Chain A
């Protein structure tokens, strides 16, 4: 019998991977090409034809008088090639040359993989590069992944300290407020993760780590609140209303703007304030750790909005409208929980002398000014004129976030 190629499987049977060798040999042949297969495994004469049948290859048997180890000649079929007819690469593997609009058929296929034709049209509605991407995303993701910290070991939970009851109560109140904020900050990106086309996977990864960041923050702030007692502080209706407007925003750019650029930006200032005025090492440490994470969130939000501002001349109009809309939605609410404001003053005062309280009050006022300045700076970077940035910043929710 004639064949183009020979292969001897030795004692290897199909029950232990012989198909890999046959497949490899067949891959080098065109359809119709002939592969002579020899071997000594006792079941080879049964399994080789059965395997070939299922793969669309034809088998020719040797002459019964053939005394060699030849088991059969396999004639390569077309099914292996046919399966990959019309296959396409799901874009480039690395993010250097991303598609501006990856098609739904790429769906969950790994970016850069060779996709068999067919398969589901998996719709991810955030499928426009300009709407989600920032060139800094891969770098930020790598940083974020590298800087994950363990809440158990990164915080000196066992440090012995005792605070006056009213100071401890102020800490508990502030922690309660932080937990609520972080809950919102977790839910907002989580809602978008499932809507972003996986082609932009670094953004999805970055947001996933951001969600994990917020999860840790919720844990440590809750744990600090309960470190010396059994109850949390108060939660105002206005505060929850303010946070819920963030969760309800369904536009990625606007949600990112409200949450990261305005909210988390101010939140970084607040955490910095708490690092300075924390009355105990645990509070100081967890605020510092959270602040590092939040800074990253702001950087990403700014980066992708700055990019978007260059390609979408209407972006600023939309951002402006979003601020007005949120302001109107919150116009009838009380804004920041008064208990939170007072607790911040207590922490910054460090004592109950009238002078201490006055100083504490002044520190909180300075914090609010710093938050306002920060918002204005970021708005200017996004292309707003300074006077308009000032006006828009003034409309930001009194709830800080």
Chain B
């Protein structure tokens, strides 16, 4: 019987991605899975390759999950969320103003200038702008396109939006909840210098997207990931780098807000084609 195998794609949004997946590769191979990974410079090509069958699994952003799902469905197939990090569940994004801002309620943002992350950032652009649109609040947007194609994994655009807010260049800025705390702690935003005027509903972040959940390799991959223990000193540093304490089952119930934002903004077509006008990953 051949050794179960998985070839996974990961997007190299940061040099640490190599450290993480080389480390995981050694750990997984030591437990009977012939695992390897390929690195992509952006998510769109990774999704193309997953759906085309060139890789077995894709460590996907939520936006990449949506497109993989749409592409696969349009082609008569399907993809599945195998696992996700415990930290991928129930995130929110916030819209932040300076403490002395006249904006107190979300409606007060109407007609004002709002800074966002990159065009393809679910958490700092698509979902919060979708949230404002759903509330009937029309705003002007100043986008900070850093790391386009990385779906917001590169935090640069989000941080630049926060800097623009602190500098008084914009009226509000969008960011993930944890990053608001981090930006204050690291000094990007002044302590007690900002107020949160809107918070989105809870949504989910990345998942390990696979084509054939029942194959030996993918089933073993899922079992091994879920079996990684934070008490294991070999994988703990890698889990710390990847920002999780445990792998959990994948779920797809947390992507509705992003799907609505994608449809409303015309980012992807229903069949998964990239239709965003000014998006060049």
Residues of A within 8 A of B (CB): 14-16, 42-43, 45-47, 49-51, 53-56, 59, 77-79, 81-83, 85-86, 116-119
Contacts and interface: CB of A to CB of B under 8 A. Distances in A.
B227 interface: no
A14 B181 contact: yes
A15 B236 contact: no
The 7 A-B pairs of least Cβ separation, nearest first, read A118-B233, A56-B245, A117-B233, A85-B231, A82-B230, A50-B178, A79-B245
A15 B245 contact: no
Contact of B178 (A42, A54, A79, A82): A54
B192 interface: yes
A54 B177 CA distance: 11
Given A55-B245, A56-B245, A42 B236 contact: no
Given A43-B180, A50-B178, A51-B181, A86 B230 contact: no
Q: In this complex, which of B90, B92, B195 has the most chain A Cβ atoms within 10 angstroms of its Cβ?
A: B90
Nearest to A119: B233
Interface residues of B, number: 29
Contact of A15 (B89, B94, B181): B181
B37 to A, nearest CB: 22
B234 interface: yes
A116 B233 contact: yes
B245 A77 contact: yes
A49 B177 contact: yes
A47 B233 contact: no
Nearest to A45: B199
12 contacts: A42-B196, A46-B180, A46-B196, A46-B199, A47-B180, A49-B92, A50-B176, A53-B91, A54-B178, A83-B231, A83-B236, A85-B231
Contact of B184 (A15, A54, A79, A81): A15
Interface of B: 86-87, 89-92, 94, 176-178, 180-181, 184-185, 191-192, 195-196, 199, 229-231, 233-234, 236-237, 243, 245-246
B90 A49 contact: yes
A336 B215 CA distance: 82
A54 B205 CA distance: 13
B231 A46 contact: no
A118 B184 contact: no
Contacts of A78: 230, 245
Contacts of A81: 231
A79 B92 CA distance: 22
A14 B180 CA distance: 11
B127 to A, nearest CB: 15
A15 B192 contact: yes
B243 A54 contact: yes
A53 B246 contact: no
Contacts of A117: 233
Contacts, number: 76
Given A46-B181, A56-B86, 14 more contacts: A15-B192, A42-B195, A43-B196, A49-B92, A50-B92, A50-B181, A53-B89, A56-B230, A78-B245, A82-B229, A82-B231, A116-B233, A117-B233, A119-B233
B90 A53 contact: yes
Contacts of A116: 233
B196 A118 contact: no
A51 B91 CA distance: 11
Given A82-B229, A118-B237, A56 B181 contact: no
Contacts of A49: 90, 92, 177
Nearest to B235: A118
Contacts of A43: 180-181, 196
A50 B191 CA distance: 17
Contacts of B243: 54
B147 to A, nearest CB: 22
A110 B190 CA distance: 36
B102 to A, nearest CB: 17
Contacts of B233: 86, 116-119
Contacts of B236: 82-83, 118
Contacts of A77: 245
Contacts of A82: 229-231, 236, 245
A114 to B, nearest CB: 14
Contacts of B176: 50
A53 to B, nearest CB: 5
Contacts of A79: 230, 245-246
A43 B196 CA distance: 7
B178 A86 contact: no
B177 to A, nearest CB: 4
A50 B177 contact: yes
A56 to B, nearest CB: 3
A151 to B, nearest CB: 42
A49 B177 CA distance: 9
Nearest to B202: A49
Contacts of B230: 56, 78-79, 82-83
B234 A118 contact: yes
A42 B87 CA distance: 23
Contacts of A15: 181, 184-185, 191-192
A42 B178 CA distance: 15
A76 B180 CA distance: 23
Contacts of A83: 230-231, 236
A43 to B, nearest CB: 6
